A and B are shown apart, each in its own frame.
Chain A
Amino acid sequence: MNDVLDVILRLLAVLVAFLVLPLAVGQTEHKVMAHMQGRLGPMYAGGFHGWAQLVADGVKFAQKEDIVPADADRKVFQIAPAVALLPYLLVLIVIPVGPHGFVGQAIDAGLFFVLAVLGVGVLGSLMAGWASANKYSLLGGLRTGAQLMAYELPMVLAAASVAMAAGTLSLPGIVQAYQWWWTPWQIVGAFIFFTAGLAELQRPPFDMPVADSEIIFGAYTEYTGLRFAFFLLAEYAGIVVLCALTTVLFLGGWHGPWSDSIGWLWTLLKTAVLAFVVIWLRVTYPRLREDQLQKFAWTVLIPLSLLQIALTGVVKVVIQ
């Protein structure tokens, strides 16, 4: 009985985190971007600095008419947002927040699981792009696919480097094995992982799939209302997941000064800082061109990640 309760509690916690954290990131983005660009951002909704802006957005989305274009592939079109969103929920459950089982559910091959499930998310965009029966959507969908392919590989290789260093695929195991000097050791891997993750999320400067000046809004052009909201939610959930994973893999997760009991705080803090960096990058960098993006992945990130693996291997064997 205790077990069942335990599981239910964990589930609820994950669900809550899944619904709250992306909103927090979203709100932060509004405000941070505004201040960086010398403006205020949302100020009215909810009174204090527009804290309820995203809630208001949500209400608006829920009330909007749901339009499926006449030419579209109806079923696929409707399912696509769910496919884009759900993988992040699944990933969230295996990310360790603190020591001693402070995790939704630990899985042996957690790293493998995470990488595999994250790859599914892009299917949502592809489905959306295809089912819309719109040239721009199709282009956007294809760009998404190509982008995923280009960046999945360095991401996987960088993750492999961490797995080598830790000698395990379990996420808690990796954090457990973490030493402070891993961060400089794996810094290239961290950079690659984070960059590739950004690209997979189609965040600027890697947002060609939704480049409004070229292809309107890519795969999501035809979407409105709740379904559109889901895509947005997926993006912000993705930011959370990416930052949390980078924290866990490269920044030592719950490790930090003082007692282990506040480990969860360190994890959240590191994640938050990374999320801020994500927002910062959006404001700072211009959008790459599609071919630059591909070239960057294949000629810079992948060779780098191979080198990182070599470095990890050599160091690991030497220190033995």
Chain B
Amino acid sequence: MNDTVLQYLLVAVVLLPLLGAGGALLPAPPGLKGKNPDQAVLRHGVTITGAVLALTIALAAGFDHGHPAKMQASTDISWIPALGIRIHLGIDGISLPLLVLTALLTFLCALYSYFKMPEGPSPKAFVALLLLLESGTLATFAVLDLMLFFLAFEMVLIPMYFLIARWGGAGRERSALRFILYTLLGSVIMLLGLLLIGLKAGTFDMVALATDSSHAGRHLSHTTQLIAALAIGLGLAIKAPMWPLHSWLPDAHTSAPTVGSVLLAGVLLKMGTYGFVRIVLPITPGAAHTYAPYLAAFAVIGIIYGSLACLALARGGSGGDLKRLIAYSSVGHMGFVLLGIASLTPTGVNGALFANIAHGLITGLLFFLVGALKDRYGTSDLDTLAGHTGAALYGKAPRLGGLLAFAAVASLGLPGLAGFWGEMLAMFGAFKPAAGLHRGAYLTFTAIAAFGTLLTAAYLLVVVRRVNMGERETADAPQPVLADIQTYEFAAWTPLVALTVLAGLWPAVLLGLTDPAVRTLLGGN
């Protein structure tokens, strides 16, 4: 495929959901009314997200895999000449996988909701918000202008806020407000950093900035870089989230509807780490070098903290919520991603990007599963679920239990599944960090992170034991009959499972894409 077609494909990928969101608010056309308006609009959501997924797959197919470091499908139109802001879109090996992941997860969510609409007001707004969210996320990964990046970054917040606040569970309004205030504060600080870069360098174009700065940082002084990178990093770190800025995440996840959780964990968190790779590393390399050890330190603290929190939640009698637990596990996993980035080596960054994708797949699956459990039991509280002995899912709904075990094992990083490669590469990178970084410190970080993997394994196994095993029937507490996995659930989950296995067995398919791009970004070392 030639580049013009790719170019239109990319624009269509970003715009289609946006148009679809507008379309969702309109009454359905005569032929597509369906049984009732609710069903029609949900079907509209599935159609649009499916089309977007198809487009992204076409995009991936048309992508020149020989030169993943090169910006492809780029569109560059002047938008606000007064401020030098351009509509610049393009993808390379780093953004393409994220684009596909986003399209996939959103499609699956739309599909899932078609059968299992979360409780709340009309599905019309739900679908529109979902599509808006998709558009924002896709745009975040596709734009190459700092201001547009910020716009896309922000555009995601509002639909997510409403998804949590209107279709969420208990305490949703508080959590949603907390979510939006935290991330907004972060993004405003990030905006200041972006502005600083743009004003000092005279352009907002990421490609130009990345190229310029790799030529010995022609434009940006070290001080500017330090300030800008701090501001941008702060905004991204809140989003990622990095310990100690993570506190909005567990609440948001706990209150969010299943679909919201999936997208939040699977896609939104990636925007933060993507920003680190796309902006901080190439545009402010000097500052990245200065801050890398601190970032690494926070990352490993996050790993340990997340795991310990999960352990505490998994313990019997602690009143831990499964969704909350997975949310904390995300903090740990994202810690690995950040550690990989902080190593500043191609290995580490590749690992980080890989872990990104893997986490998106696995945690998305986990949230789906927990959502299914919650639907069946009416609660996701671990103690209530497990009772004294355990929920005995294996016995009552063997396939559901099996899948849960699979996801947990994948999450703890079993070799052969997706979770393994990312974390391993990240630790490899940290083990041998880029020149100029303190080796000793990084060795310590690596050691702690490795300890973190053990803790991760521990809490996930505890969870599996408490949920899956146990006596089937107890005399004093007759348990409800559980439906096993439904067809639509299969449809929604199978792709995730398949991809987890695929990425675990054949990591090169991903690493081949990211590695050249990463090397280019890191300035060819």
Q: Let me know if chains A and B touch directly in the complex, using CB atoms closer than 8 Å.
A: no
Please give the residue numbers on chain B whose beta carbons come within 8 Å of chain A beta carbons, in ascending order.
none
Please give the residue numbers on chain A whose beta carbons come within 8 Å of chain B beta carbons, in ascending order.
none
